[in-house]
Amino acid sequence: MRFAVTAAIFVIVFSLLVCCVVKFGKRADDDGREPPQVYGSNQVELAWTVIPILIVVVLFMATARVIASIQKAARPANAMQVIAIGHQFWWEYRYPGLKVVTANELHLP
């Protein structure tokens, strides 16, 4: 789901980029002068501020919902507790119930 949303955003942004490059690219009759600058389009400024905020809020809410559902999941009765510790170039796995420590390999029955 998240990949689909990200892919859709990428396709939209990339399409708009290509459209702008084709439409507003350098032309043969260009004299090299800078065009007149336009200031104060409140609607455009509001749109490019609000739309990204809405996208971020929607993605945050979706992520928070998934994380909350994972945290609420009941632990099975026969679950084995494993503590994973990341070191610079290796992983350390501790099994408190078995009093065993391994390096780089996670062993589960």
Question: Counting beta carbons within 10 angstroms of the beta carbon of residue 82, is it exposed (0 to 12), middle (13 to 18) or buried (19 or more)?
Answer: middle
Rounded Cα distance between 46 and 39, Å, is 13
Helix (H) or strand (E) holding 2: helix 2-24
β-sheet bridge partners, residue 84? 93
Tokens 């065993």 correspond to 100
**Per-residue model confidence as pLDDT tens for the chain (109 residues):** 789 999 999 999 999 999 999 988 877 788 888 878 877 788 888 998 999 999 999 999 999 999 999 999 888 888 888 999 999 999 999 999 889 999 998 888 7
Rounded Cα distance between 56 and 1, Å, is 15
pTM above 0.95, yes or no: no
Answer for the pair 84, 92: CB distance below 8 angstroms, yes or no.
yes
